[in-house]
Structure 1
């Protein structure tokens, strides 16, 4: 019986990695469609996602943290932020008592474009999530957080940190 559990575990590991790769690829296709419609580069999309995620978690990014998150030099990060700010996708905000500290926020125009593009996706994703209990979704959340952490760890190893 233990041998079959091991075989099933191996099968699930392969299947889950394949599914994660497929999900990542499909999400990239949708991200590229959004980028193409709005004349954005792939790096722009990575930056916007990083800013959005940081905002959702209540920890807005500084330009330095954004550059670190997406692997750009400070000069390239500044050019990226300038381009996204000019297009209304990002805005710089000084929110701390130290006026030198700049936080990045999603711009209203950029948010409107994102909402118009991604809102029609929501019924599709809601239909999938509705098939799972809260307990099951918590297990999935734990799994995806762990897998994301593993990727970040490896990315940092590749960067020599």
Structure 2
């Protein structure tokens, strides 16, 4: 499943002239409940500040995001998904949502509850594995605890 989703993501990235990491950044910006800052995006993606800046520059040049300064603290930058770019992404990824809906329709609610419980448990176990492997944690987050 991850392989197929990754292939779709790479297809979108290639179509838009972006890197796969750029698409991860777009997803984080789109999913955020409030505008992300470059620092929070850096921590989320586990990238260096320079890598995040390069990623945001590519996304801005491609017309996917815009940056704005906070009205209270002008040093703070907020990241916003551009409306037309959001429409483009939704159109590209709509078949994924349709496929998920089609797959879901083939199971009862009780069966889906078991699947959801399994996936949540697996996700929790994978987080334990990740947290126990210090080499998998980016150095800058290990030092700061971010």
Q: TM-score band (shorter)?
A: 0.7 to 0.9
- Give distance in 2, aligned partners of 1:96 and 1:144: 41
Which structure: larger Rg?
A: 1
Is 1:113 aligned to residue 88 of structure 2? yes
Give per-residue Cα distances to partners, 1:20-70, cap 9 Å, x unaligned. Answer: xxx1111111111111111111111121122223x2xx2442211111222
Query: Does the CA contact (< 8 Å) of 1:85 and 1:107 recur in 2?
Result: no
Alignment of 1:63-82 (within 5 A): 63-82=38-57
Select 2:30's aligned residue among 52, 64, 69.
52
Per the normalisation by structure 1, the TM-score is 0.68
Higher relative contact order (CA 8 A, sep 6+): 2
Per the normalisation by structure 2, the TM-score is 0.74
Instruction: Provide the alpha-carbon RMSD of the alignment.
Output: 2.6
* Distance change >3 Å, CA 78–CA 150, structure 1 → 2: farther
**Structure 1 runs not aligned, ≥5 long:** 1-22
- Give distance in 2, aligned partners of 1:91 and 1:135: 43
**Structure 2 runs not aligned, ≥5 long:** none
How many residues end up aligned between the 2 structures? 136
